[in-house]
Structure 1
Amino acid sequence: MNVIGFEILTGTSSKTGKPYDMSRLHTCIPLSTSETAKGASGTTYDCPSEVLEKIKHLTPPLICDVEMHDIMRYGRRVQEISSVIPVERAKAAA
């Protein structure tokens, strides 16, 4: 995946006193080329902060091998990133 950014959002709720982790991985995925669509679209995936801590010293954009799995969150099935391994630096769009 082309990783274009990430956010490590963790802390303790001032309301409940419980810890939270709302960290996210931002990627750019190619559109299916047609007469009316070309290029790429940005998308965001939930990602545990401990996965992002391993790449926080790197500066996007990056090409990474990304593993994900489905989890149930608030009664909905969502994809969550379980591993991000940098492969190479992506060329910045000109």
Structure 2
Amino acid sequence: MKDFKKQVVVDITESQTIVELSYLLQKYDSEIFILNVSKNHVQEINPKSILGLATLQLKNGTEITVRAVGDDAEEAVMEVTKFLQSAKHTD
């Protein structure tokens, strides 16, 4: 089983919603996690869960770690990365 992770700085547009990210990730078999460490508070959630994403409260400029375990782990992490950095690619 593959394990892949990547550091990401969140940069999303105002039109994006966490629901979209959750739906995008449903096609992956891997277990996916987003780890947010801020102000001595550690939170790791499953972004396939809308409730988990809502509790994460992602803001632009936040550095997070995206990790996945499974056969399509790298593809899943790259999907999350692409979504969370989409504002950088819309010029």
TM-score (structure 2 length as normaliser) = 0.30
Between Structure 1 and Structure 2, the one with more strand by share is: 1
Whose relative contact order is higher, 1 or 2, with alpha carbons under 8 Å and at least 6 apart? 2
